[in-house]
A and B are shown apart, each in its own frame.
Chain A
Amino acid sequence: MSLIEQQIAMSTTAERQVVTGAPGAAPSADWVIVTRGITRDYDMGGEVVHALRGVEIAVRRNEYVAIMGPSGSGKSTLMNLIGCLDTPSAGEYWLNGELVSRMADDELARVRNREIGFVFQTFNLLPRATAQQNVELPLVYAGVSAAERKARAKEALERVQLGDRRDHRPNELSGGQRQRVAIARALVNRPAILLADEPTGNLDSTTSEEIMRVFEGLASSGQTVIMVTHEPDIAAHARRVVVLRDGRISSDETRETFLATLNARV
């Protein structure tokens, strides 16, 4: 890590702590996500893997953040924690003013259902369900009536330009279309944050661009988005870039500084 990088990383961390408050206190309302020193250890039969070693990240409403880093640096682990699919070994995680890191199973399920939209690299659509049924799924668990489910799923699919593919099953759709169904599903319950773990990892470059335009559109309409990616030109779509290295944040910068350091290195 260069000296400049270190300075940027340290200054942003210090600044963040001042703004988001002390440990144990709920952060102010502008922050959707605040983590304080979260760690995640995996016990592999005696040998402990430290996937995250104290991550401090704070995200404001309407931010569009890209998370980068080498393979095994803990990006997916962090996303799963932010997405409430997992709980940290230590540290605090505040989502929308709620202390998620202390929540029990059922509460986490509720938070996943109401606050989070998750888009996966492998789409994770139900193969036997139609696009419409897949998009309705979060609403089923939210207890929404069948009629309203139908209307809202239709609306969400239209938002990703798939209004005419509602009755298609995943195997009747292209990769890009599948990922758009998954995005519609993630958005249908109007989540506070949209999380995407390498959403273009299984797509060719043209389709990737198409999916990135969808995210772009969502972000510019005010949706908070956090996205993991390997590729700098994908990350360059975001307005803020966080880099993980070995379970820690190594840099957290605006798109402009990120691009500047990137060019400087080249």
Chain B
Amino acid sequence: MSLIDAIRLALTQIRVQKLKSFFTLLGVTIGVMFLIAVVSIVNGMSKYVEEDFAAKFLGVNTFTLRRFPNFQNGNVTEATWREWQRRPVITSEDADAIREALPTGAHWAMQDMRYATPASQYRNSGPQAMVAAVSAEYFLIKNLEVERGRVFTEQEEQIGQPVVVLGSETAETYFPNIDPLGKEIRLEGLPFRVIGVLKKQGSTFGISLDRQAIGPFHSDMRRVTHARMGIDGVLVQGSDVGNLQDSEEAAREVMRRRHHLRPADPDNFMFETSESALGFWQGIKQVLVIGGIVLPAIGLVVGAIVIMNIMLVAVADRTREIGIRKALGARRRDIMWQFLVESATLSIFGAILGIALGFGLSALIKSVTPLPSSVALWSIVVSVFLGAGVGIIAGIYPASRASRLDPILALRSD
């Protein structure tokens, strides 16, 4: 019997017993649905965290010298926490010294941040903005572009011009339907002239990246951020991976010297890279991937058991049919093949249903939670093969029983 004949036969059988077929499929359907959904969540989040989040928050090919980690990977022990608190703060003098030591080609910026509520003549209260006092190359390293106006220059930064570049949302909030360029905005009571508005960036993990106010480090902005008490960090971008490593070595040497560390002492500062910051994500991902294997596996095993039982019942119900087929010349392998194709077709049907539901679940998660999810093409292919595999494995025993039936006894049954 050809594959097409066998599939046609299987479809007829499934159509005849629609309801029974549907229940048979539940296990496989649910298994595949979870597979598709979990993979789509992991896939969506990976894409988002690794490309979007890492690029927006951390920049490409960069490290940030910090006192201690900003993104914590799991829980920190009390002892570690105390050690961190004892570390000397990083100062703008440290940053300047690092700048001197960097290899050519590397970009450098110091940054200090603090939340503050802006005020303009149009609006004197509203959502806070992330206020940043930074060096001029900050925009370059962070790949920040202006929608209107311009960013500040190296000279403006050096002489401390009281200018500011706003995030699109902050600009819109404090200058509703008004051109903010040239207008004054106050941060902690200190006045700054708006010279640019950044392009819209959207949000990451529910944090808007468009509520920002970025000013020159040497302006009053460093008073807004309390830079006297130490700065957040020093941002360095290498021209390539090698340059970045050289830069990190140079910065480490400078800092160890300035902190008077002996060769045996560990660093009392840290370098945050996109990998180190994404450590937390790797942890979440592992849990999700395990869930993404276990849940579908349970569904598929249950599905296989149900299909096997249903197929055994089908073989018992259709003993006479098997007898007729054998009497007319069906060989063992023809009967085996017929029931295997039937159970594989049934199971693939379940998988297809599961793929559809998985799409639905993925869309649902995307719409009701901040979790981004996007269905991975490979998971669809894997699901179809899993469906076929489960069907074939579950079908082997019933099919071989059917194929070994004695034709005379089978013909006599009813």
Contacts and interface: CB of A to CB of B under 8 A. Distances in A.
Contacts of A112: 326-329
Given A85-B407, A85-B408, A124-B411, A113 B329 contact: yes
Interface centre among B1, B324, B326 (most CB of A within 10 A): B324
A85 B323 CA distance: 10
7 contacts: A112-B329, A118-B327, A120-B411, A124-B320, A124-B323, A141-B331, A189-B329
Given A126-B324, A128-B16, A110 B332 contact: no
Interface residues of B, number: 22
B14 interface: no
A207 to B, nearest CB: 22
B93 interface: no
Nearest to B411: A124
A168 to B, nearest CB: 17
Contacts of B407: 85
Interface of A: 80, 83, 85-86, 105-106, 109-110, 112-114, 118, 120, 124-126, 128, 137-138, 140-143, 146, 185, 189
A74 to B, nearest CB: 14
A183 to B, nearest CB: 13
Interface of B is mostly: helix
Contact of B408 (A86, A140, A142, A189): A86
B12 interface: yes
A141 B330 CA distance: 6
A106 B5 contact: no
Contacts of A185: 328
A146 B408 CA distance: 28
Interface centre among A85, A110, A120, A143 (most CB of B within 10 A): A85
A182 to B, nearest CB: 10
B12 A109 contact: no
A109 B330 contact: yes
A187 B281 CA distance: 71
A110 B326 CA distance: 10
A80 B333 CA distance: 22
Contact of A140 (B1, B12, B320, B333): B1
Contact of B327 (A85, A110, A140): A85
